[in-house]
Amino acid sequence: MARVGVFVCFCGANIADFVDVPTVVEEAKKIREVKFAVDYKYMCSDPGQQMIRDAIVQYRLTSIVVAACSPRMHEKTFRKALSDAGMNPYLLEVANIREHSSWVHQKDKKAATEKAGDLVRMAVAKSIANEQLHEISVPVTKRALVIGGGIAGIQAALDIADARIPVTLVERSPSIGGRMAQLDETFPTLDCSQCILTPKMVDVASHPYIELIPYSEVIELNGYVGNYKARIRKKASYVNFKSCTGCGACWQKCPVKVPNEYNMGIDKRKAIYTPFPQAVPNKPVIDAEHCTMLLKGKCGICAKFCEKGAIDFKMVDEVIEREIGAVVVATGYDLWDATPYEEYGVGRYKDIINSLEFERMVSANGPTGGLPIRPSDGKVPKSVVFIKCVGSRDKAKGIEFCSKICCMYTAKHAILLHHKVHDSRAYIFYMDIRAAGKGYEEFVNRAQVETGAVYLRGRVSKIYQKGDKLMVRGEDGNLGQEVEVEADLVVLATAIVPYKENPALARLLGISYDKYGYLSEAHPKLRPVETAKAGIFLAGCTQAPKDIPETVAQASACAAKVCGLFAGDTMKKDPMVSTVNKEFCSGCQNCVTVCPYQAIVTEDIPLGHGAKETRTVAKINEGVCQGCGSCVAICRSMAINLAGFTDPQIINEIVAI
Ligand code: FAD
Ligand code: SF4
Ligand code: SF4
């Protein structure tokens, strides 16, 4: 006969304020199989766990029910307590009386208490049918895939590779570096972005444990933690990188000019191009959308001037496969398109630019030789208005979040403007100044004192043209009146948003994303770099806006997670997986179709004992199965069993309720 122990947690006031915990204990004691029931303030604490361990031994318990918070929080903790007392950890059931009762029924303590009692009865009934289960061991492929070669991807790849774990780094554009390669000096120390970034880029290219695959994208990911298989499309570069020396003769002679993405379209690049002088790899690619030879079969000038014969117009996209054990997604951010701000005249007035355009202008290697200029007439501006929170924190425009970095980089822009144009003045319209970081407040103070930047607290309501000036009308909350500032140039700190392709990538990887397209972490506080899919991690702005220090910290955290995952040759996996009873299986293969993890294949087995004829049945790869139960639900022959959620367990619960 089963002997069940029930442990009901107060969770401080979380449960106890809304559920009458002693009553739940008394109700549990009335169940025939319950041989011990008790409550405690914090069951997950050391004394709480010790109570469980002691009771298992003293009352010779055969299964345990902990009525507390979500199993996502502490199931592992309690399983370990069972193990430590010599009990199979899967003889535990968690009744979630916090999220499922106290938190959602705060206005009705009586009903919440009754519901908690029901949840405990169900868990007790289920636990009686629990079986001993054992963790599954799966082999691990010790190679990581990093998607995105900005500073997040670079840092993660270097840290993993330094631990002598091979890394495949896939970057969509022709060079790694990401947005950081476009920045001039960086807050809060004003060190040159390129100077601190390029050595890391070079390290990536020369690292014996890193395989860099630029100009490529991941198009498929199958498998499961420790054993993923990725398909990667290498876009045709039309340049043979092995023979190309990077001399540049080709792009110097190419007659086609198109807007230069690296310089935010301020100047032009050629149809064959290297994105920027310090690009890694430093080899050109041909932009097939603009190359006259590829479009019309005419030209080929680059091929004529290439002494190495490296140009190959016949090159095609190539798909390669890599087996990997873990993935770090580091696909970064884009700037929000401010066109919905009609009142600012975005798109109408040439002298309104965004923050990355300003960043490129003031960069020493930028398209204007390091000076800000007015796009309308090429003159150097003296009065520059910076507007923060353009898109960010503006529910009406669809973005509620704070972009987090604009307060800081706008202060930086005021300093850079002052350094470049000594007799200039910056006017900054702002909602708040959010400068929470080491040395950040000091940096903003420096911008205000050193440059004389005028900070005006309020939203801009309108921008209109007057002669060759832009008139910026807004509020000055400090003076409590409307102000109008005459500007030569207006710089918009537009919201930081994920790339529009992020949701498609998330679906491809099988991970979730929020309403903006940012990829979602497994838990905002306790698992901030993991996704809900085991073995897939997030680094940098693909998850949310971040500055460089925060991005680098998160990337290193991802690397630590990957190294931890690869610490052994095999990995332990929960045994809650499905198995097929071949005798009952009709071979309809509905389960194969419904399984979201492609964990089910088919096999042919003899029709009967010793028979030569065969029939097809389903077979589950327990390493791939995630225990979602979809196959169990679809199987009409009732041939599939999910360990930990067997029919007797579920029926017991239903009967109890
Ligand atoms: P990114 O730099 O965006 O890199 C992402 C990379 O992933 C890119 O190379 C991209 O091509 C690649 N990619 C995207 N999708 C895919 C895909 N599907 N497959 C493969 N590759 C893909 N921070 C500071 O700390 N100090 C500063 O002074 C500072 N100044 C800034 C000024 C401005 C105007 C702005 C807008 C930002 C500034 N930042 C600053 C923030 C800084 O740019 C970011 O913190 C940093 O770039 C984030 O790095 P990341 O790797 O997450 O993203
Ligand atoms: Fe490479 Fe040839 Fe172009 Fe020189 S001319 S950069 S070798 S492709
Ligand atoms: Fe606005 Fe500052 Fe947040 Fe940027 S970081 S959205 S400027 S409050």
pLDDT for 272 equals 98
Nearest CA to ligand 1 atom 31: 409
Q: How far is the CA of 392 from the centre of ligand 3 (A)?
A: 7
State both tokens at 213. Answer: 């695959």
Q: Are residues 487 and 634 part of one domain?
A: no
CATH number of the domain within which 604 lies: 3.30.70.20
Ligand 1 neighbours (beta carbon < 6 A): 147-153, 170-173, 178-180, 183, 186-187, 217, 330-333, 355-356, 359, 405, 409, 412, 499, 501, 505, 540-541, 546-549, 551
Ligand number nearest CA of 232 is 1
Quote the pLDDT of residue 608: 81
- Within a domain: residue 187? yes
Based on the domain organization, do 327 and 338 belong to the same domain? no
**To test ligand 3's pocket by mutation, which of 333, 354, 393 has the most ligand atoms within 8 angstroms of CB?**
393
603 and 483 in a single domain? The answer is no
Tally of CB atoms within 10 A around 259: 11
Q: Are residues 482 and 506 in the same domain?
A: no
- Domain-embedded: residue 133: no
Cβ neighbours of residue 500 closer than 8 Å, sequence gap 6 or more: 334, 517
CA distance 368 to 323: 45
- Residue 328 CA to residue 601 CA, distance in Å, equals 28
Query: Of the candidates 497, 525, 551, which is a domain's last residue?
Result: 497
Of 544, 565, 586, the last residue of a domain is: 565
CATH of the domain at 96: 3.40.50
* Same domain membership, residue 475 and residue 423: yes
- Which residue ranges have their beta carbon within 6 Å of ligand 3? 388-389, 392-393, 402-407, 431-432, 434, 493
User: Does residue 185 sit in the same domain as residue 222?
Assistant: yes
Q: Kindly state whether residue 137 falls inside one of the protein's structural domains.
A: no
The CATH number that applies at residue 527 is 3.50.50.60
Q: Which ligand is nearest to the CA of 356?
A: 1
Mutate to test the pocket of ligand 3, among 335, 354, 355, 392 (most ligand atoms within 8 A of CB): 392
Residues 110, 42: one domain?
Answer: yes
Query: Is 311 part of a structural domain of the chain?
Result: no
Could you tell me if 354 and 444 lie in one domain?
yes
Which pLDDT tens digit goes with each residue over 526-569?
Answer: 899 999 888 999 999 999 999 999 999 999 999 999 999 999 99
What are φ and ψ of residue 352, in 5° steps? -110, 120
| Tally of domains within the chain | 5
571 located within any domain: no
Please report, to the nearest 10 degrees, the dihedral formed by the alpha carbons of residues 464, 470, 473, 474 taken in order.
Answer: 130
Q: Could you tell me if 526 and 421 lie in one domain? A: no
Same domain, 18 and 118: yes
pTM equals 0.85
296 & 357 share domain: no
Looking at the CA of residue 401, tell me the nearest atom of ligand 3: 6
Distance (Å) from CA 537 to ligand 1 centroid: 17
Mean pLDDT of 416-437: 95
Task: Express each pLDDT in 135-147 by its tens digit.
Answer: 999 889 999 999 9
Domain of residue 253: give its range. 249-305
Task: Mark whether 212 and 262 lie in a shared domain.
Answer: no
Question: Atom 33 in ligand 1: which residue has the minimum CA distance?
Answer: 356
Measured from CB, residues less than 6 Å from any atom of ligand 2 are 239, 244-250, 284, 305-306, 308, 310-311
Domain boundary among 128, 160, 193: 128
In three-state form (DSSP H/G/I as H, E/B as E, the rest C), the secondary structure along 191-238 is EEHHHHHHHHHHHHHHCCCEEEECCEEEEEEEEECCEEEEEEEECCCC
In tens, the pLDDT along 483-539 reads: 999 999 999 999 999 999 999 999 999 999 999 999 999 999 989 999 988 899 999
Answer yes or no: is 242 within a domain. Answer: no
